[in-house]
Chains A and B, each alone.
Chain A
Amino acid sequence: MSGLLAALAHLVAALGAYGLLLILLMLAGSVIPAQMVGVVRRKVRRTREEALAARMRRRFGEPLIELLADEADEAARRHFLSLVASPGGAPLTRDERRAVADLVLGGLPKVRGEAHVGVRRLFVEGDLTAIYLDDARSRSARRRGLAAEALGELRLVEAIPALEVLIVDPAPEIRLIAARALSKQGVPLAAEALLTGLTRGAIPSGVATLSLLRLGAAAGPALTARLVDPRPEVRAIAVDLLGALRWRVNPDDVIALTQDAAVSVRAAAARTLGWLELDAAMPALLSLLAGDAEATVRAEAAQALGRIGDPKSAYALRLALRDAQRPVATVAANALLALGDAGLQALTLARQDTQGRASAYALETLQRSGHVASA
């Protein structure tokens, strides 16, 4: 490497500034035409694809509409499928089949009810899904991306293995499309694929969280299994989402995570115990509020106690008003308000508290909520 650099330095010295300029111009002269060829090639391909799509629309558009307009007409369905299988005796080429599949797919988001079911049936009966399953393995990233989008729209269980591969695709944009596609599937298998993408570092945790949330209750079993995942970020997402989804998880599994070594996991566990409003979680939350070293965790515990709303937590929340960290004390004050009479009583008592800024926080909260007139 150093030898090459030295040779280049000699060349520059020998040629001078004009010589260097000449070399740069020669390099540019070879790069620019190569780029132009690429642009022209893409343009030609796009034009050819559009022409093919227009041809297929002319040939298949009307039979497709006829079929969707009369859901009960089996003859229209058979007619369309026979056209796809062999129009005029000559079988469709692979590109033509893809154009037909795109045409049918284009109708899917525009209709609902029986017509929507009818479009999806066509994919299965006309074996059009196979086009996208093949494209998911294409060398072209563009094809893989389009295939991922199409498979997402189709919501077929047989598409999940292909999306599972695309979620760890070398191209990051394909991985994001695959995550979105998986989030539309509505089956537990899709959650497994998304969690695989997360654990292999293929998709950011924000994307995984949002996709799993969109997946809804179908993500519950896979998330429950990940409560004991060796990676703290996975445990945190799992416990957090189970709370957000109000999944009926075994309370003991979540309570165990309040002792986790990772702050994010303890905070998420506290949050989830609050969302699930479990009385059995009270001792664990009270212990976090009083003794956790991290302010974030104490604040989450206070908020969760407020959500559960048990008057028995009033004393502990009153003590939390003394917390040196303002966010913990403010959350505790709001949680006391959520407890009703017991909380108001605790706030009133705290006005006499001489430790920390408990008295000031209590007064501030009572004034803000209109229970004490502002000065």
Chain B
Amino acid sequence: MATVLIVDDDPFISGLASAKARQLGHQVEVAENGEDGLRMALSLQPDLIVLDLMMPKLTGIEVCRSVRAVPAMRATPIIMLTGKGQERDIEEGFAVGATDYLVKPFSPREFQTRVRALLERSAGVGAAQ
């Protein structure tokens, strides 16, 4: 069982994403803004982080950059959730260390597939090391 941290200020999105991650048997923690998200990421050191791009207090990009600055979290998979028309932000997201991205409106099923794949890949890398 992995720990998944979902950081999104929209309770509908975070609720749906949480439910899909729980269906995979993972433990889920939720933060409603970037500041809480960063604090929880640093203290929990989750196995995967789902980050909304536009959030109050601290954006997803800022959270991602701060997380990557922690040596123990350089390989933690991070999925960015972006709105339509934020292609430039996707580029920036990858530049600061995002692993994958999903465009909103999103398909819960696709989200679940990505979470599963990223966690499996990450576990594979961890085992090899």
- Residues of chain A having any CB pair with chain B under 8 Å: 61-62, 65-66, 68-71, 106-107, 109-116
A residues in contact with B15, CB < 8 Å: 61-62, 65
Contact: B12 with A106, CB < 8 Å?
yes
Total residue contacts A-B, CB cutoff 8 A: 50
Known: A62-B15, A70-B23, A111-B107. 15 other contacts (CB 8 A): A65-B12, A65-B15, A68-B19, A69-B19, A69-B23, A107-B12, A110-B10, A110-B12, A110-B104, A110-B105, A110-B106, A111-B16, A111-B106, A112-B106, A113-B109
Assess A68 versus B105: contact at CB under 8 Å? Given A107-B12, A115-B16.
no
A residues in contact with B11, CB < 8 Å: 61
Give per-residue flags for B3-35: 1 if the beta carbon is below 8 A from chain A beta carbons, else 0: 000000011110110011001000000000000
Question: Whole-angstrom distance between the alpha carbons of A298 and B19 in the complex?
Answer: 63
B residues in contact with A70, CB < 8 Å: 19, 23
A-B contact pairs, 8 of them (CB 8 A): A65-B16, A69-B23, A110-B10, A110-B13, A111-B105, A111-B108, A113-B109, A115-B109
Closest approach, in angstroms, between the C-beta of A129 and any C-beta of chain B? 20
Closest approach, in angstroms, between the C-beta of A263 and any C-beta of chain B? 39
Contact: B107 with A112, CB < 8 Å?
yes
Q: Is B110 part of the binding interface, using a Cβ–Cβ cutoff of 8 Å? A: yes
Question: Whole-angstrom distance between the alpha carbons of A70 and B23 in the complex?
Answer: 9
Closest approach, in angstroms, between the C-beta of A267 and any C-beta of chain B? 34
Contact: B108 with A68, CB < 8 Å?
yes
A residues in contact with B108, CB < 8 Å: 68-69, 71, 111, 113-115
Contact: B109 with A114, CB < 8 Å?
yes
Closest approach, in angstroms, between the C-beta of B74 and any C-beta of chain A? 31
Closest approach, in angstroms, between the C-beta of A145 and any C-beta of chain B? 23
Closest approach, in angstroms, between the C-beta of A40 and any C-beta of chain B? 30
Chain A residue at smallest Cβ distance from B15: A65
Closest 3 interchain pairs by CB?
A: A69-B19, A113-B107, A65-B15
Chain B residue at smallest Cβ distance from A70: B23
Contact: B107 with A114, CB < 8 Å?
yes
Give per-residue flags for B97-129: 1 if the beta carbon is below 8 A from chain A beta carbons, else 0: 000000011111110000000000000000000
Contact: A115 with B12, CB < 8 Å?
no
B residues in contact with A115, CB < 8 Å: 16, 107-109
Question: Whole-angstrom distance between the alpha carbons of A62 and B12 in the complex?
Answer: 9
Question: Whole-angstrom distance between the alpha carbons of A61 and B10 in the complex?
Answer: 12
A residues in contact with B109, CB < 8 Å: 71, 113-115
Question: Whole-angstrom distance between the alpha carbons of A22 and B10 in the complex?
Answer: 55
Closest approach, in angstroms, between the C-beta of B33 and any C-beta of chain A? 18
B residues in contact with A107, CB < 8 Å: 12
Chain A residue at smallest Cβ distance from B13: A110
B residues in contact with A69, CB < 8 Å: 16, 19-20, 23, 108
Closest approach, in angstroms, between the C-beta of A102 and any C-beta of chain B? 12
B residues in contact with A106, CB < 8 Å: 12
Question: Whole-angstrom distance between the alpha carbons of A70 and B106 in the complex?
Answer: 15
Chain A residue at smallest Cβ distance from B20: A69
Question: Whole-angstrom distance between the alpha carbons of A159 and B106 in the complex?
Answer: 26
A residues in contact with B19, CB < 8 Å: 65-66, 68-70
Closest approach, in angstroms, between the C-beta of B15 and any C-beta of chain A? 4
Contact: B16 with A112, CB < 8 Å?
no
Contact: A116 with B105, CB < 8 Å?
yes
B residues in contact with A109, CB < 8 Å: 105
Question: Whole-angstrom distance between the alpha carbons of A35 and B107 in the complex?
Answer: 47
Question: Whole-angstrom distance between the alpha carbons of A109 and B104 in the complex?
Answer: 9
Most buried by A among B16, B106, B107: B16
Contact: B23 with A112, CB < 8 Å?
no
Question: Whole-angstrom distance between the alpha carbons of A265 and B63 in the complex?
Answer: 57
Partner of B110, one of A66, A110, A113: A113
Most buried by A among B13, B15, B23: B15
Closest approach, in angstroms, between the C-beta of A116 and any C-beta of chain B? 7
Question: Whole-angstrom distance between the alpha carbons of A109 and B105 in the complex?
Answer: 6
